[in-house]
Amino acid sequence: MNLAMIWELAAQALQMLLVLALAPLVLGVTRKIKARLLRRIGPPTWQPYIDIWKLLHKEAVLAHNASWLYRVTPYLLFATTWVAAALVPTYAINLMFSWSADLIAIVALLATGRFALALAGMDVGTAFGGIGSSREMMIASLAEPAMLLVVFSVALIAGTTQLSTMASIFINGSVGLRVSLGLALFAFVFVAIAENARIPVDNPATHLELTMVHEAMVLEYSGRHLAMIEAAAALKLTLYFSLLACLFVPFGMATGDKNIDSVLIGLMTYLAKILVLAVLLPIGETSVAKMRVFRYPIFLGSAFAAAALAVFLLFVSRSL
């Protein structure tokens, strides 16, 4: 075990722990900004940490007809989301496990988690769980194609689906400001909003039957299970932010050898990007109203159209 390998391992471990530690903070910043925009004071920024800590110490109450799936799902969800979030390059590329950081694999991991959650929502047999699961799957069926088309468009530009390689190609700047990238960004933002259950698709703070999607699925969970699920939701949001930063604004990441300077710069830029996105999200959320469920296809259809257009442009022209 020479020093280089230990250093690599430490860098990879740093990334894994970084996203885990950062995720509740991202959530907290988002909630705080939103409250301020709504002229409330809002909870403290580190409230999600306190929530998770509290939930971990509470008793998990299960329905008597809950199956093994119900108990396993929170851990499964947390695991898949954490792995996916840890694979996305945050402050540096070409980390130890980055050969496995394939964009399609990440999409598949998220899909697995969502699938498990949807099943668990229906597991106990309550009405709210069923509503949540069916709405969630409808959104997924519309968002997945759009997400895949976004993946295709960036992959066509970079020539690979491996995230580290993609990021390094984009950092060089030889790609330029392409229309297809702009369209892909547009589509990605819409898909991210849908997947993370944010306004205008879903309200993360509501428990009204008419409006909840994600919250409906997890309504029955309590204690450490709920803590896992909350952490997974926060990780998912951080994952999408990191993905946006890595694909569309990858500047500042540490390429090449990872000495202290480049790592520090990478960390600083990453934190800055995440913070900016965490501020922009509530600004967007407070400026639109939640849309009705039958409008989801149009919303996600426009994302699909934009991504399809991006892919098409890449096929017909070299410079678009």
Residues at the site binding another protein, with contacts judged by CB under 8 A: 174-179, 182-183, 186, 297-298, 301-302, 305-306, 308-309, 312-313, 316-317, 319-320
CB of 198 to another protein, least distance (A): 19
Nearer to another protein, 208 or 316 (CB): 316
- Three-state DSSP string of the chain: CCHHHHHHHHHHHHHHHHHHHHHHHHHHHHHHHHHHHCCCCCCCCCHHHHHHHHHHCCCCCCCCCCCHHHHHHHHHHHHHHHHHHHHCCCCECCCCCHHHCEHHHHHHHHHHHHHHHHHHHHHCCCHHHHHHHHHHHHHHHHHHHHHHHHHHHHHHHHCCCEHHHHHHHHHHCCCCCCHHHHHHHHHHHHHHHHHCCCCCCCCCCCCCCCCCCHHHHCCCCCHHHHHHHHHHHHHHHHHHHHHHHHHHCCCCCECCCCCHHHHHHHHHHHHHHHHHHHHHHHHHHHHCCCCCHHHHHHHHHHHHHHHHHHHHHHHHCCCC
CB of residue 301 to another protein, shortest distance in Å = 5
The nearer residue to another protein, 10 or 298, going by C-beta atoms, is: 298
CB of 167 to another protein, least distance (A): 18
Q: Which is nearer to another protein, 71 or 178 (CB)?
A: 178
Q: Least distance from C-beta 284 to another protein, angstroms?
A: 15
Q: Which is nearer to another protein, 223 or 301 (CB)?
A: 301
Q: How far is the CB of 288 from another protein (least distance, A)?
A: 11
- Shortest Å distance, C-beta 60 to another protein: 43
Identity of the residue, 36 or 292, whose beta carbon is nearer to another protein in the bound complex: 292
Nearer to another protein (CB atom), residue 37 or residue 308: 308
